[in-house]
Amino acid sequence: MGTSLAVAGIAWAAVSFWSSQFPDVRILKNRYPVAIPVRNAPRGGQQFEIRWSAQRPETWISLSGISPLAVGAVVVSEDLAFFTHRGYDSNQIREALKHDLARGSFARGASTITQQVAKNVFLSQEKSLWRKAKELLLAIRMDRELGKRKVLETYMNIVEWGPGVFGIQAASFHYFGKSPSDLSAREGAFLAMLLPSPVRYSQSFRQKKLTPYARSTVSRILEKMWRAGYLTPEEAQLANSERMSFEQEQREEASSSESEAPAEPEGEAEVDRQGGEEDT
C-alpha cells in the first residue's frame, strides 16, 4: 500500500512538473495567441506578452490570406528547411555548435520557425540551456501535433516586425499601407530582412531609404526565393530593381553619403531570431 502511494506520488509530481515546464501545444488548435507590446520595456527585456483569445482576433490573418511571395521570403530567410525538418534543423544546430565552440560563447541560436513559435508563445526570453532544451522539445511536439501550416500561420501573426509592430497585418499596413495578401516579392523580402532584429533593421524605413546592409540582404533573399522556386530568375531580377512605396527618390549626393554610412551588423550569427542580441 505504502509503495503504491509512493509510486502514485512520484507519478503525480512528474506529471505536474511536465505540465508546468512543457505546456500542451494543442491549445493552438482552437485558441489564438495575441502578442501585446509591453510598455516601457527595458532594452533586451521582454518586449511583449502573450494573451489568449478563444475567438479569432480581427488582426489574425490565415496563411491563405497572406501573399505567397511574402510567406516564401520569410521561409527562405528564416528557415529554408522548414517544410522538410521535424521542428528542428540538425544541420543548423551542428553549425551553430561549431560556431559557438569556436567563439567560446552561445551567440548563434539556430532556431527554426517552429522553435521561435515555441519560445515566443510558451516560454520566457530567458537565455539558458534549459530554456533552449524546452524550446527544442516543444518544437518537436508542435511539428507533430499541429503541422506546418498552423505553425507558420501562428508565426506570421505573432512575430515582431518593428517597434511595437506585431503580426503580419500590422506590419503590412505599417510599412506599405496595404493588405498582407497584396505584398510583392520585394516587400516580402524587406519584411523578412527585418526579422532577426526588427527594431535595429527598421532603420531603413525610418530613413526612407535602404541602408547598404538592407539592400544587400533584400537582394540575397530574392535570390534565395528564385533558387527555392518561389520566383523565376526574371521575376527575381525585376523585384530587385523595384522601389518600395516608402523609398524616396535619391539624389546623387544622398547615395554617396549612404555608401559612407556605417553598415548594420551582418549575419544571423550576431543576433537571436526575435529574442535579442545573443541566444543560448
- The DSSP secondary structure of 153-197, one letter per residue, reads HHHHHHSEEETTEESHHHHHHHHHSS-GGG--HHHHHHHHHHTTS
Cα separation, 265 vs 61, in Å, equals 32
**Per-residue pLDDT tens digits for 59-106:** 999 999 999 999 999 999 999 999 999 999 988 777 766 766 666 655
Q: How far apart are CA 126 and CA 46, in angstroms?
A: 9
The three three-digit cell numbers of residue 186, written as one number: 520585394
Distance CA 43, CA 276 (A): 9
Statement: residue 176 has pLDDT above 50: yes
Helix (H, G, I), strand (E, B) or coil at 211: coil
pLDDT at 22: 80
Closest CA to 228 of 75, 90, 64: 75
Taking 50 as the threshold, does the pLDDT of residue 280 lie above it? no
Q: Report the chain's mean pLDDT, rounded to a whole number.
A: 82
Report pLDDT for 41.
66
110 — pLDDT class (breaks 50, 70, 90): low
Q: What is the pLDDT of residues 114-166, one digit of tens each?
A: 999 999 999 977 777 888 899 999 999 999 999 999 999 999 999 999 999 99
* C-alpha to C-alpha distance for 268 and 205, rounded to whole angstroms: 20
pLDDT at 264: 55
Q: Pick the more confident residue, 50 or 94.
A: 50
pLDDT at 6: 45
Q: CB of 250 within 8 A of CB of 179? A: no
% pLDDT > 70, the chain: 74
| pLDDT tens per residue across span 245-259 | 999 754 333 444 444
Residue 276's pLDDT is 39
pLDDT at position 39 is 80
Least confident of 11-15, 149-153, 172-176: 11-15
pLDDT bracket for residue 37 (50, 70, 90) = confident
**DSSP-H helix ranges across the chain:** 2-21, 68-78, 90-103, 113-122, 129-146, 148-158, 168-176, 185-194, 198-201, 203-207, 212-228, 233-241, 252-259
